[in-house]
């Protein structure tokens, strides 16, 4: 049985004003070899949108148009959890993330074009970034050559969105989520809860997290497949928005950890996930295949110029895409 608050929580997803991520606007050790994909044509591009967006949104489609204009011949696949755009949008807030990723894995593996490609590239916006990373770790068929993420919550969020003073609906949602974060219901139904991570309460996180603790390989028993699949990436570029106040902390885009009391930032390279190479990040970094980039502005404020620059650098066809 669903909690009493479930019905208004469902209705709340129809209001974009309180969503913690914003839809895109239309434009005018042992070293695993990098994936080698000799090709004169651009690889297909997987795009996973953020919370509150849907795979048919005009802003997202303009990203695909820009990718093709920058690298002619690019086939872009917009990842969706449901073919109905409204249901796909709702699924960005309500649903079991692990089940959603499994469906995406099956859909991509069965796609008539993607399934025949030797590899694909990946572009993740906000929460879509860590979801694409989960695809790589858990499935990777076809394998991802280069992954680029913008403002993603790779190390989770330590705060849910702050509500405006007069937004009672948002305030009710926030109160419910804060007090029920580690319940089975929240960890299997409320998407943001599944990548919530409070550095001051790691014990509860490791015990109850349905998604993030697993894909970050933070529990005692490690999944080596996750590490090996990530080490196969040709490049992994992580963009952090310089003025991001939507995602807290913004440094999560780099896998950094921020103390919620002192605001002290522990960089990725100083954390155990890096030192012990739990998901292959140290291996990528040592091979110069891990990039830390900055996107100026607030969360998901993307310029056409930055996207073109990104598409040229990371997704352009290359006859010798291997890293020596």
Q: Tokens 């995602």 sit at which residue?
A: 247
Helix 58-70 vs helix 304-315: angle between axes, to the nearest 10 degrees?
A: 50
Q: What is the 3-state secondary structure (H, E, C) of 14-78?
A: CCHHHCCCCCCCCCCCCCCCCCCCCCCCCCCEEEECCCCCCCCCHHHHHHHHHHHHHCCCCCEEE
Burial (Cβ within 10 Å: 0-12, 13-18, ≥19) of residue 93: buried
Per-residue burial over 274-301, b = 16 or more CB atoms within 10 Å of its CB, e = otherwise? beebbbbbbbbbebebbbebebeebbbb
- Where on the phi/psi map is residue 274: left (φ > 0), alpha (ψ -120 to 50), or beta? alpha
> End-to-end alpha-carbon separation of the chain, Å?
55
Compute the distance between CA of residue 237 and CA of residue 284 in angstroms, rounded to an integer: 11
Compute the distance between CA of residue 39 and CA of residue 42 in angstroms, rounded to an integer: 7
CA torsion through residues 108, 113, 119, 122, sign: negative
Q: Which residues are catalytic?
A: 126, 244, 299
Q: Rounded to an integer, what is the distance from CA 142 to the centroid of its chain?
A: 18
* CA distances for 266 relative to 156, 254, 271, 279, 287, angstroms: 14, 10, 7, 18, 22
């Amino acid at each position: 049985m669903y909690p009493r608050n479930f019905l208004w929580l469902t209705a709340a997803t129809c209001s974009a004003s309180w969503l913690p991520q914003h839809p895109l606007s239309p434009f005018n050790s042992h070293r695993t070899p990098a994936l080698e994909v000799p090709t004169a044509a651009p690889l297909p591009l997987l795009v996973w949108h953020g919370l509150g967006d849907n795979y048919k949104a005009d802003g997202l489609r303009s990203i695909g148009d820009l990718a093709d204009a920058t690298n002619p011949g690019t086939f872009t696949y917009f990842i969706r959890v449901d073919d109905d755009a409204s249901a796909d949008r709702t699924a960005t807030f309500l649903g079991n993330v692990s089940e959603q990723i499994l469906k995406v894995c099956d859909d991509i593996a069965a796609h008539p074009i993607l399934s025949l490609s030797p590899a694909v590239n990946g572009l993740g916006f906000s929460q879509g970034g860590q979801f694409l990373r989960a695809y790589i770790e858990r499935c990777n068929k076809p394998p991802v050559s280069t992954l680029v993420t913008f403002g993603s919550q790779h190390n989770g969020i330590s705060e849910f969105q702050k509500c405006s003073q007069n937004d009672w609906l948002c305030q009710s949602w926030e109160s419910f989520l804060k007090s029920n974060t580690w319940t089975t219901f929240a960890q299997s139904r409320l998407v943001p809860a599944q990548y919530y991570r409070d550095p001051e309460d790691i014990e509860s996180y490791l015990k109850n997290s349905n998604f993030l603790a697993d894909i970050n390989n933070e529990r005692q028993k490690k999944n080596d497949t996750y590490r090996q699949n990530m080490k196969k990436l040709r490049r992994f570029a992580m963009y952090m928005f310089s003025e991001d106040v939507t995602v807290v902390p913004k440094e999560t885009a780099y896998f950094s950890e921020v103390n919620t009391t002192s605001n002290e930032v522990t960089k990725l390279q100083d954390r155990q996930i890096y030192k012990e190479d739990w998901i292959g990040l140290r291996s990528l970094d040592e091979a110069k295949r891990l990039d830390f980039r900055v996107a100026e502005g607030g969360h998901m404020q993307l310029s056409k110029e930055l996207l073109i620059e990104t598409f040229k650098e990371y997704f352009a066809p290359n006859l010798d895409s291997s890293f020596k």
